């Protein structure tokens, strides 16, 4: 049996399975409003975006490519959905799903407990997994549940919710591949790793209630998990607030976008996608999204679009198309070799003269024990294809460095941020000297102003590493005015 993260195309069948089991085993004990609440919750249009944003992690149990059961957990360790097909109950499917989710919560999410709002008939099932009652039975919107929780060992955080610090990307997401390798093996990781860390792509699936005839699992024995009647199912009452607070967004999600109303150009999303599923000794998986701008004159259009594509493909080129000797050596020496790059982007600012694009790249560059999260930006004139860098737009004098450093430390919430550098080294890094690749200067424009900072690439054992993949300091357009150069960039900004 293969236990892994559910892929995008497998999410709809998983929701059908959940509804089948719920309708037969759970719905009879719910008030009508509770059944309707559950039905609304598991609609594809509700669940898919949550999975795409990483708020829900959906595990599936597969045998001969047939889904036998499913379990979803939130990033704070809360079990939201746990259902096993009736014909497969009592066969250990639920326990294997739970052990995979538990490992994920422990090793990746780093939470110190898992909890669940268990259906009353499922309490015995959760007790057998080590859960204990943590509150009295409740009924909310017609849904009966018993709060239960399980303490986890070996974790150091109380919650893995979204960071409250904007525009800081923690690198813990990279542990996903390590977990995939440990729990599912090389081949399983190669088949399904994309779903761990990256947003799913737009799809054309319908809601899970439009084709009831495709539901299965009606004709079966009624044994529950480990002998508990109707025990292998539960769901969490979800009030729609988790992850909806704008102040808690981080990374690309938190960037406010500006787009002019009178654009003369159209943007088109492109995808470079490659996965070598034949290789069972290593993971090779690339999912690279990038924008292209249509409507520019031929010469400028080629220059702009090549720049955007090349920026997105930078890691693929580095580790696969034109690999360095160090990458080759890393692959040969690694017990679990991996060449992976997942790239997403956001067009943060665009008018008829200028575009600012932010790329975020999760990658493994030979050895799966070392992962990377990188920020790359491109700020390009749509008039002639000029690419602007920090040194082109900002006078990095002493006053600017002091102001910028205060903002960087405010974003990080740590006065030790960049304390290993002198003011002179900071200035040189902002001008393009990355100091052996550790401090890569980036900036981008957005609806609120300009963000200027570093993509950070500390060595794993560097004591100066505070755990941030990249940090940028925000300046509104008024605050940045006193530091700007005479670059044409500023004339292009509305």
SS3 384: coil
Clarify whether residues 396 and 290 are in a common domain: no
Q: The domain spanning residue 311 has which CATH number? A: 3.30.565.40
Using alpha carbons, select from 3, 61, 366, 362 the residue that is nearest to residue 179: 3
Residue 218 lies in a domain: no
Assess if residue 59 is contained within a domain. yes
Contact 70, 100 (CB under 8 A): no
Q: Extract the runs of DSSP E, i.e. beta strands, from 10-65.
A: 56-63
Query: Phi first, then psi: what are they for 27, rounded to 5°?
Result: -55, -40
The pair of three-digit structure tokens given for residue 377, joined into one six-digit string: 């930006």
- Which DSSP string do the residues of 393-411 spell out, in sequence order? HB---HHHHHHHHHHHHHH
Q: Same domain, yes or no, for 178 and 162?
A: yes
Say if residues 205 and 217 touch (Cβ distance below 8 Å): no
pLDDT value for 467: 74
pLDDT score at 49 = 82
Is the model's pLDDT at 206 over the cut of 60?
Answer: no
The pLDDT, as a whole number, for residue 65 is 82
Q: Does one domain contain both 299 and 266? A: yes
Confidence of residue 95 (pLDDT cuts 50, 70, 90): confident
Residue with more model confidence, 373 or 349: 349
Nearest 5°: phi and psi at 277? Answer: -85, -5
**Res 370 pLDDT > 50:** yes
Q: What is the extent of the structural domain holding 330?
A: 255-387
Q: Supply the pLDDT for residue 319.
A: 94
- Binned at pLDDT 50, 70 and 90, residue 247 comes out as very low
Residues 406-456: tens digit of each pLDDT: 999 998 888 999 999 999 999 999 999 999 999 999 999 999 999 999 999
- 23 closest CA partner among 225, 223, 208, 228: 208
Answer yes or no: are the C-beta atoms of 177 and 264 closer than 8 Å. no
What token pair was written down for 305? 């679009």
**Residue 158 pLDDT greater than 80, yes or no:** no
Predicted TM-score (pTM) of this structure: 0.61
Residues 39 and 173 in one domain: yes
Classify residue 232 by its DSSP letter. Answer: S
Mean pLDDT score, 249-270: 87
């Amino acid at each position: 049996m293969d236990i892994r993260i559910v892929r995008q195309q497998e999410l709809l069948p998983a929701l059908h399975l959940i509804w089948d089991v719920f309708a037969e085993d759970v719905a009879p004990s719910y008030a009508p409003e509770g059944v309707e609440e559950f039905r609304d919750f598991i609609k594809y249009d509700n669940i898919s975006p949550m999975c795409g944003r990483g708020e829900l992690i959906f595990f599936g149990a597969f045998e001969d490519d047939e889904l036998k059961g499913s379990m979803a957990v939130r990033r704070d360790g809360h079990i939201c959905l746990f259902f096993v097909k009736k014909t497969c109950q009592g066969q250990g499917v639920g326990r294997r799903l739970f052990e995979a989710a538990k490992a994920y919560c422990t090793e990746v999410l780093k939470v110190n407990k898992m909890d669940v709002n268990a259906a009353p008939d499922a309490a015995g099932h959760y007790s057998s997994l080590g859960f204990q009652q943590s509150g009295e039975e409740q009924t909310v919107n017609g849904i009966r549940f018993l709060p239960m929780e399980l303490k986890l060992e070996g974790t150091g955080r109380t919650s893995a919710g979204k960071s409250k610090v904007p525009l800081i990307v923690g690198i813990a997401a990279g542990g996903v591949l390590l977990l995939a390798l440990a729990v599912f093996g090389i081949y399983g990781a190669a088949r399904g790793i994309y779903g761990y860390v990256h947003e799913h792509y737009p799809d054309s699936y319908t809601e899970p209630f439009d084709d009831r005839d495709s539901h299965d699992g009606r004709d079966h024995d009624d044994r529950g998990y480990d002998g508990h009647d109707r025990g292998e199912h539960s769901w969490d009452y979800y009030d729609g607030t988790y992850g909806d607070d704008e102040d808690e967004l981080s990374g690309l999600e938190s960037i406010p976008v500006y787009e002019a109303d009178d654009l003369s150009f159209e943007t088109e999303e492109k995808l470079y996608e490659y996965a070598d599923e034949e290789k069972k000794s290593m993971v090779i998986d690339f999912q690279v999204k990038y924008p292209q701008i249509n409507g520019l004159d031929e010469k400028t259009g080629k220059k702009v679009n090549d720049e955007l594509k090349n920026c997105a493909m930078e890691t693929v080129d580095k580790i696969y198309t034109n690999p360095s000797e160090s990458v080759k050596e890393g692959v040969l020496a690694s017990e679990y070799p991996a060449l992976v790059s997942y790239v997403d982007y956001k067009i943060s600012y665009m008018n008829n003269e200028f575009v600012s694009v932010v790329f975020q790249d999760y990658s493994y560059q030979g050895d799966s024990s070392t992962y990377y999260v990188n920020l790359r930006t491109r700020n390009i004139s749509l008039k002639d294809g000029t690419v602007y860098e920090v040194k082109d737009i900002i006078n990095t004098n002493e006053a600017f460095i002091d102001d910028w450093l205060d903002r960087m430390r405010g974003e990080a919430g740590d006065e030790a941020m960049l304390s290993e550098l002198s003011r002179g080294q900071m200035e040189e890094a902002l001008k393009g000297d990355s100091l052996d690749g550790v401090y890569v200067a980036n900036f981008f424009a957005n609806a609120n102003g300009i963000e200027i900072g570093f993509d950070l690439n500390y060595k794993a054992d560097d004591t100066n590493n505070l755990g941030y993949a990249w940090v940028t300091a925000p300046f509104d357009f008024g605050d940045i005015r006193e530091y700007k150069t005479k670059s044409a960039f500023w004339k292009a900004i509305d």
